[in-house]
């Protein structure tokens, strides 16, 4: 059985349900609706927006809600697909990369952010945002908020400031999230990860027990052991998940090349 297929993703979702996780959108979490054992499914729609509709439909059939973050690039910014995903009951957010697009110009970047936020709000009342890592750019898009405040624009949450940091945990170790992302087309691809990282997981505490998993099948096995008590945030890139043999092979090759480039970037930094 192949990893990174819709069939395998469906098995992962079922394993989360079997482990008694409640599914919340990031918006619901920021609204204070999080309670008990819950998971936030975050999808970064970098490319191939149609794949996101497929995962959204699969989740909806299982009664699961998730958060979908769209970029401004045409491969992601597909209005009909965005509207269809919203109609399924999922959250829509803005996957911002304004500082990279505007080459570090803060004034142009915040103007670009306002314009794009208004664009996505045509399809959903966007209240959360999430930075795009822009691995080949020298600008970290989060630095836009050194001189601006996203709350001034009706935004209630950004994962890297409001969920994956010690500040958001506020000393309550039971809230320390286990953060897992399929960056690099694997679940332990930290060496290929430029910016998409937990900034303060409070390591060496029993509350933070990131599992040592590589494949989705490892992930499912870990969930089945029943020792999962932490809050989870799971980030996927739906472009990677497909049942089409040709698209699966294409993505496999493309990701291998991307990983080589990312590894060179991390070694050179």
Dihedral sign, Cα of residue 141, residue 143, residue 144, residue 149? positive
What is the pLDDT, as a whole number, of residue 31?
94
Q: Could you give the percent of the chain with pLDDT greater than 90?
A: 68
**Of the segments 101-105, 169-173, 210-214, 230-234, which one has the largest average pLDDT value?**
101-105
- Domains of the chain with CATH codes: 6-268 (3.20.20.370)
pLDDT grade for 139, boundaries at 50, 70 and 90: very high
Q: For the segment 46-94, what is each residue's pLDDT rounded down to a tens digit?
A: 999 999 999 999 999 999 999 999 999 999 999 999 999 999 999 999 9
Among 28-37, 121-130, 132-141, 147-156, the range scoring the smallest mean pLDDT is 132-141
170: pLDDT strictly greater than 60: no
C-alpha span between 66 and 40 (Å, rounded):
7
Q: Three-state secondary structure along the chain?
A: CCCCCHHHHHHHHHHHHHCCCEEECHHHHHCCCCCCCEEEEEEEECCCHHHHHHHHHHHHHCCCCCEEEECCCCCCCCHHHHHHHHHCCCEEEEEECHHHHCCCCHHHHHHHHHHHHHHHCCCCCCCEEEECCCCCCCCCHHHHHHCCCHHHHCCCECHHHHCCCHHHHCCCHHHCCEEEECCCCCCCCHHHCCCCCCCCCCCCCCCCCCCCCCCHHHHHHHHHCCCCCCCEEEEECHHHCCCCHHHHHHHHHHHHHHHHHHHHHHHHC
Q: For the segment 194-247, what is each residue's pLDDT rounded down to a tens digit?
A: 556 655 444 444 445 567 899 999 999 999 988 676 789 999 999 999 999 999
What is the pLDDT, as a whole number, of residue 21?
94
C-alpha span between 8 and 167 (Å, rounded):
35
pLDDT grade for 125, boundaries at 50, 70 and 90: very high
**Of the segments 159-163, 242-246, 253-257, which one has the largest average pLDDT value?**
242-246
Q: Largest Cα–Cα distance in the chain?
A: 50
The backbone torsions φ and ψ at residue 246, rounded to the nearest 5 degrees and listed phi first, read: -65, -45
Cβ–Cβ under 8 Å, residues 185 and 252 = yes
Number of CB atoms found within 10 A of residue 224's CB: 12
Dihedral sign, Cα of residue 186, residue 137, residue 235, residue 238? negative
Does this model's pTM top 0.85? yes
The backbone torsions φ and ψ at residue 234, rounded to the nearest 5 degrees and listed phi first, read: -115, 120
């Amino acid at each position: 059985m192949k990893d990174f297929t819709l069939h395998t993703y469906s098995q992962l979702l079922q394993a989360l349900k079997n482990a008694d996780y409640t599914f919340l959108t990031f918006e619901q979490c920021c609204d204070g609706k999080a309670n008990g054992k819950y998971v936030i499914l975050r999808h970064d729609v970098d490319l191939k927006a149609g794949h996101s509709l497929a995962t959204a439909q699969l989740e909806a059939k299982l009664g699961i809600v998730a958060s979908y973050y769209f970029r401004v690039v045409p491969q992601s910014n597909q209005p009909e697909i965005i509207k269809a995903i919203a109609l399924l009951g999922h959250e829509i957010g803005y996957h911002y990369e304004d500082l990279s697009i505007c080459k570090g110009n803060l004034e142009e970047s915040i103007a670009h952010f306002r314009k794009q936020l208004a664009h996505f709000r045509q399809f959903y009342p966007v209240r959360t945002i999430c930075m795009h890592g822009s691995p080949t750019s020298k600008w970290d898009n989060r630095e836009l908020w050194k001189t601006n405040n996203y709350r001034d624009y009706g935004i209630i949450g950004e994962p890297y400031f409001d969920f994956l940091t010690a500040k958001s945990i506020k000393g309550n170790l039971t809230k320390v999230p286990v953060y897992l992302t399929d960056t690099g087309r694997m679940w332990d691809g930290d060496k290929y990860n430029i910016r998409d990282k937990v900034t303060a997981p409070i390591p060496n505490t029993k509350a933070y027990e990131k599992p040592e998993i590589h494949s989705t099948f490892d992930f499912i096995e870990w969930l089945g052991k029943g020792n999962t008590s932490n809050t989870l945030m799971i980030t996927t890139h739906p472009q990677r998940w497909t049942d089409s043999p040709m698209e699966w092979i294409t993505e496999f090759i493309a990701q291998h090349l991307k990983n080589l480039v990312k590894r060179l970037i991390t070694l050179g930094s």
